[in-house]
Each structure stands twice: as C-alpha cells, then as structure tokens.
C-alpha cells in the first residue's frame, strides 16, 4: 500500500527584514510587518477548507507568525523543525542588500549569478539548503500519519527544495521567484523514498454540507 504525504511549503509573509531590504538569520529574528500579518490571514482564507492534518514551521519568528493564524483556525499545533530555517548567509547575515550591491563585492555578485558555486562566505549553497529541508521533511513524515502538511519556511528553502526535487542546477535558483506567501506543493512517496512536484491550484473551496 502506497504511503503518501502532501507537503505545501509556504514562504512567510512580509517581515521587517524584507521591508528594510536586509538579510536576516543569526543576527536578528524580525517579526512580520502589518502587511505580513494580513498575508497570514489571507493564508487562512486560502487553506481553511483544505484537508490539512499537520502544520510545521521554521523556528524563526516570521515563519511562526505566518502559520499561527491557520493553526488557530484549525485547532492544530505547529511542529517546529529547525532545518526549515533560513539559509545561512554567513558573513552577510544582517547586511543590507543595497550596501552589498554598491560595495562592488565580487563574492556577492558571483553569488547572485550562481549561488551553488559561490555560496556566501561561511554560508550555505542553495542545494545544501534544499537537501537539509527535504531531509527534515522526510524525518518528519516518519513521525506523523499520512496526509497534508502545511509548512512555513523561507524563500531559499523553497528554491533549494525545488532544485533538488527537479534535479536542476544551482544557477537555476536565479530564475526562481518566491514572493511572500509563495508556495510549493511537494508529494513524498514514503515507500520509494521519492519526491514529486505537484502542479495545480492551491485554493480549496468550502466543502459541501
């Protein structure tokens, strides 16, 4: 009998770091903006009728705050998965993107072109991020019943997972755009330890009474 898990990865709503154009992971843990909180409420409207069995989240505040309104609506407690946290940006953590762009930083511009071959100094490559995210989700599925999980995470985590599942190259990450509340639907076949990409709408209408 096939054992299947559907996982909808959701990028957090707009955070203070997004608004300020800064990288954020170890140096600070910014909260959602008012726009981000409105986006979290939009997620409830989108998914409240979906057949969700489980919720998971990155440990960072912006992800936890994004998933919490959905958790309150469904009466579920999100599981915190450390490996759904933001990409480790190493020496650039906390920096403003505009400052790095103006500094003629060769390493930064190389990273923008190919984040796999040129990870941040002391940081992670995009495929390494995807591998740790999928590894965490595989371990997680071993602890819960089959069904749908909504997991709040970060843009590069979603990009990395997409690249690993589709066996694409690191430079392809620059062609991927994951806006706030952007989503990726994955399906994990536990019997074959295999991931698949699910293409389709992520809107779930109310069920008929």
Per-residue pLDDT of 102-161, as tens digits, reads: 887 788 888 888 888 889 999 999 999 999 999 999 999 999 999 999 999 999 999 999
Look at the chain and count its residues.
Answer: 209
Average pLDDT value for residue range 46-52: 93
- Please report which helix (H) or strand (E) contains residue 62, including its range: helix 61-74
- Alpha helices by DSSP H, listed for 1-60, are 16-20, 34-47
Q: Is the pLDDT of residue 202 over 90?
A: no
- Rounded CA separation 94/104 (Å): 18
Q: Could you say which architecture CATH assigns to the domain 4-197?
A: 3-Layer(aba) Sandwich (3.40)
Q: How far apart are CA 14 and CA 183, in angstroms?
A: 14
In terms of phi and psi (left: phi > 0; alpha: psi -120 to 50; beta: otherwise), the region of 40 is alpha
DSSP 32: B
Q: How far apart are CA 85 and CA 176, in angstroms?
A: 19
Q: Enumerate residues 6+ apart whose C-beta is below 8 A from 80.
A: 56, 57, 58, 59, 64
pTM as predicted: 0.93
Q: Which carries the bigger pLDDT value, residue 110 or residue 82?
A: 82
Task: In whole angstroms, give the CA distance from residue 7 to residue 184.
Answer: 8
- H helix intervals, 87-154: 97-102, 106-113, 126-141
Beta-bridge partners for 32: 15
């Amino acid at each position: 009998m096939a054992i299947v898990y559907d996982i909808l990865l959701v990028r957090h709503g707009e955070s203070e770091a997004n608004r300020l154009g800064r990288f954020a992971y170890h140096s600070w843990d910014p909260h959602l903006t008012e726009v981000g909180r409105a986006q979290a409420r939009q997620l409830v409207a989108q998914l409240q009728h979906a057949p969700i069995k489980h919720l998971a989240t990155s440990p960072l505040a912006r992800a936890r705050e994004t998933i919490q309104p959905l958790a309150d609506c469904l009466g579920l407690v999100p599981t915190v998965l450390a490996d759904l946290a933001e990409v480790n940006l190493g020496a650039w953590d906390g920096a403003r993107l505009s400052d790095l762009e103006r500094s003629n930083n060769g390493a930064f511009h190389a990273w923008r072109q190919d984040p796999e071959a040129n990870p941040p100094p002391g940081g992670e490559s995009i495929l390494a991020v995807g591998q740790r995210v999928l590894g965490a989700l595989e371990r997680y599925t071993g602890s819960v019943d089959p069904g749908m999980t909504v997991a709040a995470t970060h843009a590069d985590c979603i990009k990395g997972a997409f690249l690993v599942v589709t066996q694409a190259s690191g430079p392809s990450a620059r062609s991927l755009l994951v806006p706030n509340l952007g989503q990726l639907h994955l399906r994990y076949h536990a019997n074959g330890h295999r991931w698949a990409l699910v293409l389709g709408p992520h809107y779930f209408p109310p069920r008929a009474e």
